Amino acid sequence: MGVCVKICSITNLDDARAAMDAGADYLGFIGVPNTPRFVTPQTYLRIVRGLPDDAQTVVVVRDAADGLAYGANKIQYYGGSLIEIPAAVELIKVIRPRTQAELHEQLGAAPEMVVALVLDAYHETKLGGANKVSDWTLAASAVRLAKVPVFLAGGLTPENVVDAVRAVHPFGVDVSSGVELRPGAKDHDRLRGFISAAKGAL
Protein backbone atom coordinates (compact mmCIF):
# COMPACT_ATOMS: atom_id res chain seq x y z
CA MET A 1 0.00 0.00 0.00
CA GLY A 2 2.82 2.42 0.74
CA VAL A 3 2.29 5.60 2.70
CA CYS A 4 -1.06 7.30 3.03
CA VAL A 5 -1.52 10.48 1.02
CA LYS A 6 -3.47 13.53 2.10
CA ILE A 7 -4.20 16.13 -0.56
CA CYS A 8 -4.86 19.35 1.31
CA SER A 9 -6.45 22.68 0.42
CA ILE A 10 -9.22 21.23 -1.75
CA THR A 11 -11.59 24.01 -2.86
CA ASN A 12 -13.76 22.41 -5.54
CA LEU A 13 -15.38 19.12 -6.50
CA ASP A 14 -13.30 18.61 -9.65
CA ASP A 15 -10.05 18.63 -7.70
CA ALA A 16 -11.53 16.44 -4.98
CA ARG A 17 -12.60 13.81 -7.49
CA ALA A 18 -9.26 13.96 -9.32
CA ALA A 19 -7.42 13.38 -6.04
CA MET A 20 -9.59 10.42 -5.13
CA ASP A 21 -9.34 8.93 -8.62
CA ALA A 22 -5.54 9.17 -8.36
CA GLY A 23 -5.55 7.25 -5.08
CA ALA A 24 -5.56 9.90 -2.36
CA ASP A 25 -6.48 8.50 1.06
CA TYR A 26 -7.56 11.79 2.63
CA LEU A 27 -8.84 15.12 1.34
CA GLY A 28 -8.08 18.25 3.35
CA PHE A 29 -10.18 21.42 3.45
CA ILE A 30 -8.97 24.69 4.94
CA GLY A 31 -11.27 26.25 7.51
CA VAL A 32 -9.01 29.21 8.37
CA PRO A 33 -10.70 32.46 7.25
CA ASN A 34 -8.72 35.10 5.36
CA THR A 35 -6.34 32.56 3.86
CA PRO A 36 -6.04 31.86 0.09
CA ARG A 37 -7.49 28.33 0.24
CA PHE A 38 -10.31 28.91 2.73
CA VAL A 39 -13.63 27.17 2.11
CA THR A 40 -16.81 27.92 4.02
CA PRO A 41 -18.79 25.17 5.73
CA GLN A 42 -21.37 25.50 2.96
CA THR A 43 -18.78 24.98 0.22
CA TYR A 44 -17.28 22.05 2.10
CA LEU A 45 -20.67 20.34 2.44
CA ARG A 46 -21.48 20.93 -1.23
CA ILE A 47 -18.21 19.28 -2.28
CA VAL A 48 -18.61 16.36 0.12
CA ARG A 49 -22.10 15.63 -1.20
CA GLY A 50 -20.54 14.99 -4.60
CA LEU A 51 -18.04 12.45 -3.26
CA PRO A 52 -18.41 8.74 -2.48
CA ASP A 53 -19.74 7.95 0.98
CA ASP A 54 -16.41 6.47 2.03
CA ALA A 55 -14.40 9.62 1.21
CA GLN A 56 -12.11 10.53 4.11
CA THR A 57 -12.22 14.29 4.64
CA VAL A 58 -10.28 16.41 7.10
CA VAL A 59 -11.07 20.03 8.01
CA VAL A 60 -7.98 22.06 8.91
CA VAL A 61 -8.54 24.86 11.40
CA ARG A 62 -6.58 27.14 13.70
CA ASP A 63 -8.51 26.27 16.86
CA ALA A 64 -10.07 22.81 17.13
CA ALA A 65 -13.56 24.09 17.94
CA ASP A 66 -13.64 26.04 14.65
CA GLY A 67 -14.02 22.72 12.83
CA LEU A 68 -17.35 21.91 14.46
CA ALA A 69 -19.22 24.22 12.06
CA TYR A 70 -18.24 21.90 9.21
CA GLY A 71 -19.73 18.75 10.69
CA ALA A 72 -16.56 16.84 9.80
CA ASN A 73 -15.54 13.77 11.76
CA LYS A 74 -11.84 14.57 11.36
CA ILE A 75 -10.39 17.90 12.50
CA GLN A 76 -6.77 18.90 12.00
CA TYR A 77 -5.90 21.74 14.33
CA TYR A 78 -3.07 23.93 15.59
CA GLY A 79 -4.32 24.84 19.07
CA GLY A 80 -7.28 25.93 21.13
CA SER A 81 -9.48 24.28 23.72
CA LEU A 82 -10.74 20.75 23.16
CA ILE A 83 -13.55 20.95 25.73
CA GLU A 84 -16.30 21.27 23.12
CA ILE A 85 -15.05 18.50 20.83
CA PRO A 86 -17.33 15.42 20.78
CA ALA A 87 -15.69 12.06 21.43
CA ALA A 88 -16.67 10.85 17.95
CA VAL A 89 -14.47 13.48 16.27
CA GLU A 90 -10.96 12.34 15.36
CA LEU A 91 -8.39 14.99 16.21
CA ILE A 92 -5.15 15.45 14.26
CA LYS A 93 -2.65 17.84 15.85
CA VAL A 94 -0.19 19.92 13.87
CA ILE A 95 3.28 20.32 15.35
CA ARG A 96 5.95 22.64 13.95
CA PRO A 97 9.15 22.10 15.92
CA ARG A 98 12.39 23.90 15.05
CA THR A 99 14.68 21.86 17.33
CA GLN A 100 14.83 18.46 19.01
CA ALA A 101 13.95 20.16 22.30
CA GLU A 102 10.84 21.70 20.76
CA LEU A 103 9.93 18.36 19.23
CA HIS A 104 10.06 16.63 22.61
CA GLU A 105 8.07 19.46 24.17
CA GLN A 106 5.36 19.41 21.51
CA LEU A 107 5.07 15.63 21.51
CA GLY A 108 4.73 15.67 25.28
CA ALA A 109 2.03 18.34 25.10
CA ALA A 110 -0.13 16.51 22.54
CA PRO A 111 -3.47 15.56 24.15
CA GLU A 112 -4.20 11.85 24.62
CA MET A 113 -7.29 12.06 22.42
CA VAL A 114 -5.21 12.99 19.34
CA VAL A 115 -5.21 10.13 16.81
CA ALA A 116 -2.42 11.43 14.55
CA LEU A 117 0.12 14.21 14.19
CA VAL A 118 1.12 16.34 11.21
CA LEU A 119 4.71 17.55 11.31
CA ASP A 120 4.92 20.74 9.29
CA ALA A 121 7.66 23.29 8.67
CA TYR A 122 7.71 26.26 11.01
CA HIS A 123 6.84 29.59 9.37
CA GLU A 124 6.77 32.96 11.09
CA THR A 125 3.50 34.15 9.59
CA LYS A 126 1.77 31.27 7.81
CA LEU A 127 0.15 28.21 9.37
CA GLY A 128 0.63 26.06 6.26
CA GLY A 129 0.81 26.08 2.48
CA ALA A 130 4.04 28.05 2.62
CA ASN A 131 6.02 25.63 0.41
CA LYS A 132 8.77 25.50 3.06
CA VAL A 133 10.46 22.11 3.40
CA SER A 134 10.37 20.51 6.84
CA ASP A 135 13.45 19.31 8.68
CA TRP A 136 13.37 15.63 7.74
CA THR A 137 15.76 14.67 10.55
CA LEU A 138 13.32 16.11 13.08
CA ALA A 139 10.46 14.42 11.24
CA ALA A 140 12.18 11.04 11.41
CA SER A 141 12.65 11.54 15.15
CA ALA A 142 8.96 12.36 15.48
CA VAL A 143 8.04 9.13 13.70
CA ARG A 144 10.20 7.13 16.10
CA LEU A 145 9.04 8.92 19.27
CA ALA A 146 5.35 9.63 18.70
CA LYS A 147 2.71 7.33 20.14
CA VAL A 148 0.40 7.96 17.16
CA PRO A 149 0.86 7.97 13.36
CA VAL A 150 2.76 10.92 11.89
CA PHE A 151 2.05 12.69 8.60
CA LEU A 152 4.93 14.61 7.01
CA ALA A 153 4.02 18.01 5.55
CA GLY A 154 5.96 21.04 4.43
CA GLY A 155 7.26 21.77 0.94
CA LEU A 156 6.55 18.33 -0.51
CA THR A 157 6.40 17.98 -4.30
CA PRO A 158 6.31 15.17 -6.87
CA GLU A 159 10.05 15.73 -7.24
CA ASN A 160 11.08 15.33 -3.58
CA VAL A 161 8.41 13.10 -2.03
CA VAL A 162 10.27 9.84 -2.69
CA ASP A 163 13.37 11.12 -0.91
CA ALA A 164 11.19 12.46 1.91
CA VAL A 165 9.39 9.17 2.46
CA ARG A 166 12.63 7.18 2.41
CA ALA A 167 14.28 9.59 4.87
CA VAL A 168 11.38 9.89 7.31
CA HIS A 169 9.26 6.72 6.93
CA PRO A 170 6.07 8.56 7.90
CA PHE A 171 2.63 7.03 8.16
CA GLY A 172 1.49 9.54 5.56
CA VAL A 173 2.41 12.60 3.53
CA ASP A 174 0.44 15.82 3.27
CA VAL A 175 0.71 18.13 0.26
CA SER A 176 -0.92 21.41 -0.71
CA SER A 177 1.07 23.99 -2.70
CA GLY A 178 3.34 21.35 -4.25
CA VAL A 179 0.54 20.12 -6.53
CA GLU A 180 -1.12 23.47 -7.32
CA LEU A 181 -1.48 25.60 -10.42
CA ARG A 182 -2.21 28.50 -8.06
CA PRO A 183 -3.51 28.71 -4.47
CA GLY A 184 -6.66 26.58 -4.27
CA ALA A 185 -6.45 25.10 -7.78
CA LYS A 186 -4.77 21.73 -8.28
CA ASP A 187 -2.59 20.68 -11.19
CA HIS A 188 -4.04 17.24 -11.91
CA ASP A 189 -0.88 15.96 -13.61
CA ARG A 190 1.22 16.89 -10.58
CA LEU A 191 -1.47 15.46 -8.32
CA ARG A 192 -1.26 12.08 -10.03
CA GLY A 193 2.52 12.22 -10.13
CA PHE A 194 2.77 13.00 -6.42
CA ILE A 195 0.45 10.22 -5.32
CA SER A 196 2.09 7.64 -7.58
CA ALA A 197 5.58 8.62 -6.38
CA ALA A 198 4.61 8.65 -2.70
CA LYS A 199 2.93 5.27 -2.79
CA GLY A 200 5.78 3.69 -4.71
CA ALA A 201 8.55 5.16 -2.57
CA LEU A 202 9.01 2.20 -0.22
Radius of gyration for the chain, computed over Cα atoms and rounded to the nearest angstrom: 15
Q: Which of 25, 120, 135, 174 is catalytic?
A: 120
Whether 120 is catalytic is yes
The H or E element spanning position 181 is strand 180-182
Whether 4 is catalytic is no
Q: What is the dihedral of CA 160, 78, 127, 148, to 10 degrees?
A: 0
CB distance 73 to 54 below 8 Å:
no
Q: Which of 8, 15, 135, 174 is catalytic?
A: 8
In 25-179, beta strands by DSSP E:
26-30, 57-63, 74-79, 90-95, 114-119, 150-153, 172-175
Nearest to 173 by CA among 201, 193, 152, 194: 152
User: Which of the residues are catalytic?
Assistant: 8, 120
